[in-house]
């Protein structure tokens, strides 16, 4: 592509493929990727939820815990659908407008820089705290089908808002980049599972590293040749 970068095949339709088929393949990959990235930080929370529900006397806490997980990943699935539509639209523009394609390397650096700055915001701190909250800490534990489902949706929303910056990095670097996925999984897990007083500081330390990477990417993209 103009600008010396390669477009991710996730946004492309190959010969013989239909757009519904491409979207289905992307969503399958997205769900598998989100499960791999989020389960290390989600699993302890689901276990705490199961224990809290069992203490209320519910006979099938495992069933409700699964429902929470389904609600959680439903939010990420919806997020993936929106990302696919946006990615395909941007890819089409880049194919048609060489000037826009040449600006992509700098744009990637800017997105990474903004994602790093996002780690320092009160928005990030609020949703990170909500992700880390022990079930039942401020309200009764959701112990029936409807409330368990809504709890999973709410947890998924908090998590997607909290991880918006880091997820944006994955989208612009390449959703098929396993190294980026591994690094971001580690970052999400550490900031989510760090002891309570340290969680916010860990997020900011990650932000400082990401800001530095963003500045480096911009400098490399703006440099000669």
What is the per-residue pLDDT for 139? 65
Is 208 in contact with 118 (CB distance < 8 Å)? no
The predicted structure's pLDDT at residue 9: 64
Residue 118 and residue 124 in contact, taking contact as beta carbons nearer than 8 Å? yes
Quote the strand ranges of 145-222, DSSP E. Answer: none
Three-state secondary structure along 25-58?
A: HHHHHHHHHHHHHHHHHHHHHHHHHHHHHHCCCC
Q: What is the mean pLDDT of each run of 10 residues along the chain (225 residues)?
A: 54 74 88 93 91 82 92 95 88 78 86 96 93 72 82 94 94 83 94 83 95 94 73
- Per domain, the residue ranges of the chain are 18-222
pLDDT at 147: 87
pLDDT score at 208: 97
Establish how many alpha carbons lie within 13 A of residue 205's alpha carbon, considering only the half-sphere containing its beta carbon. Answer: 10
Record the pTM.
0.87
- The pLDDT value recorded for residue 207 is 96
Q: Which pLDDT does position 3 carry in this prediction?
A: 43
Predicted pLDDT at 71: 96
């Amino acid at each position: 592509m103009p600008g010396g970068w390669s477009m991710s095949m996730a946004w492309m339709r190959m010969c013989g493929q239909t757009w519904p088929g491409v979207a289905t393949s992307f969503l399958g990959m997205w769900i598998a990727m989100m499960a791999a990235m989020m389960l290390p930080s989600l699993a302890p929370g689901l276990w705490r939820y199961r224990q809290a529900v069992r203490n209320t006397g519910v006979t099938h806490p495992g069933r409700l815990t699964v429902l929470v997980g389904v609600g959680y990943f439903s939010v990420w699935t919806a997020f993936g659908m929106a990302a696919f539509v946006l990615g395909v639209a941007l890819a089409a523009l880049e194919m048609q407008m060489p000037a826009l394609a040449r600006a992509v390397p700098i744009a990637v650096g800017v997105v990474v820089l903004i994602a790093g700055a996002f780690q320092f915001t009160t928005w990030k701190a609020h949703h990170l705290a909500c992700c880390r909250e022990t079930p039942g800490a401020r309200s009764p534990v959701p112990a029936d089908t409807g409330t368990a489902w809504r709890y999973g949706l709410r947890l998924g929303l908090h998590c997607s808002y909290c991880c918006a910056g880091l997820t944006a990095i994955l989208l612009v670097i390449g959703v098929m980049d396993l190294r980026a996925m591994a690094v971001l999984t580690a970052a999400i897990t550490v900031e989510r599972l760090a002891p309570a007083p340290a969680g916010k500081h860990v997020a900011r330390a990650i932000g400082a590293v990401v800001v530095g990477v963003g500045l480096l990417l911009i400098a490399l993209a703006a440099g000669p040749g």
